[in-house]
Amino acid sequence: MSEEPVAPHAAQLIDAARTIVIKVGSSLLVDRDRRKVRAAWLAALAEDVAALRESDKRVIVVSSGAVALGWHHMGIDRPASLESKQAVAAIGQGLLMNAWRAAFDPHHVEVAQLLLTRGDTESDRRRANARATLAMLLEMGALPVINENDSVATEELQYGDNDQLSALVAELAGAEALLLLSDVDGLYDGDPAQPDAHHIGHVPQVTPEVEALARKPLEGSVGTGGMASKLSAAKLANERGCGTIIASGRPMHALASLRDRKVRATVIGT
């Protein structure tokens, strides 16, 4: 593990990658007070993604947010039972895709919804089908926006806020880079809220020592994933030759800031 300067830098991994998977969690996409899509933030991300595509890169998005949007839309408290979470997910999924479509319309980018369950990546036949569909969408020039099929998957809601799914998608797509946008700008050797915590710029591989640094999700977050989930996803991706970046998605144009080397991030693997 090394503290900054980052070597290799996140920008170098992004620039070298042909295919990039970007995971966006609920806590970034949905305003936790108003429980609505952060439309201006999403528009800025769409602009950054469009710029990546213009540089001849293939981009896939894994997006959470259906449950959070669904429960707000129905005017109910955060659902506790699996059945209620599945129901509000069915409502929120359409709202989620509408938000992504509106963000990319100015860039004339067609977005395509792809819902997966764990079975789609564990069964050989279904896995091959998902891989073929994803490849065709990319060939057609569409932007795949992938989410767990929350309304039918009985295990997703303990799945790490799509972190694990994003690593599996990276494998399906043969991606060289997985970008996990988070609430913090990477991994620290202590609580990031404390002044004595040091940012870790590069982790060659996820070891038990690294896993011990993981912390719980931020208090008040609408997401379910924490640093432990992201490290687990990074470990899975790295085993398949895909480098992982954990970076803060809070700032506007977070992706462009990474490419311009203006912000910190943790690069895992490579």
pLDDT in tens, 115-133: 998 778 788 899 999 999 9
pLDDT of residue 84: 86
User: Which spans in the chain are helix H?
Assistant: 10-16, 26-29, 39-54, 66-73, 82-104, 118-122, 124-139, 163-173, 208-211, 227-239, 254-259
**Cis before 208? omega within 30:** no
Buried b (16+ CB within 10 A) or exposed e, 15-30: eebebbbbbbbbbbbb
Distance CA 235, CA 206 (A): 6
The answer to whether the annotation marks 196 as part of a ligand binding site is: no
CA-based max dimension of the chain: 50
The answer to whether the annotation marks 25 as part of a ligand binding site is: no
User: How far separated are the first and last CA of the chain, in Å rounded?
Assistant: 13
CATH topology of domain 2-268: Carbamate kinase (3.40.1160)
The answer to whether the annotation marks 182 as part of a ligand binding site is: yes
pLDDT of residue 48: 98
pLDDT of residue 218: 44
The answer to whether the annotation marks 162 as part of a ligand binding site is: yes
**Cis before 8? omega within 30:** yes
The answer to whether the annotation marks 228 as part of a ligand binding site is: yes
- Which pLDDT tens digits describe the chain residue by residue (270 residues)? 544 544 457 999 999 999 999 999 988 999 877 778 999 999 999 999 999 999 999 999 999 999 889 988 888 877 778 888 889 889 999 999 999 999 999 999 999 999 998 778 788 899 999 999 999 999 999 999 999 887 776 654 445 468 999 999 999 999 999 999 988 899 999 888 888 999 999 999 999 999 988 854 444 444 445 899 999 999 999 999 999 999 999 999 999 999 999 999 999 997
The answer to whether the annotation marks 64 as part of a ligand binding site is: yes
**What are the CA-CA distances from residue 234 to residues 41, 69, 151, 203 (Å)?**
25, 27, 26, 10
| Residue 44: partners with Cβ closer than 8 Å, 6 or more residues away | 252, 253, 254
Q: In the structure, how many helices (H) and strands (E) does the chain have? A: 11, 10
The answer to whether the annotation marks 229 as part of a ligand binding site is: yes
Give me the count of residues in the chain.
270
pLDDT of residue 217: 46
Tens of pLDDT, residue by residue over 251-262, are 999 999 999 999
The answer to whether the annotation marks 227 as part of a ligand binding site is: yes
Any idea what DSSP says for residue 126? H
**Angle (CA) 74 224 258, round 5°:** 110
Distance CA 233, CA 242 (A): 11
pLDDT of residue 222: 42
3-state secondary structure of 138: helix
Distance CA 157, CA 237 (A): 21
Amino acid at site 146: I
H-run or E-run covering 182: strand 177-182
The answer to whether the annotation marks 23 as part of a ligand binding site is: yes
The answer to whether the annotation marks 230 as part of a ligand binding site is: yes
**Do residues 261 and 241 lie in contact, with contact meaning Cβ atoms separated by under 8 Å?**
no
Tens of pLDDT, residue by residue over 30-64, are 987 777 899 999 999 999 999 999 999 999 999 99
Radius of gyration for the chain, computed over Cα atoms and rounded to the nearest angstrom: 17
The answer to whether the annotation marks 238 as part of a ligand binding site is: no
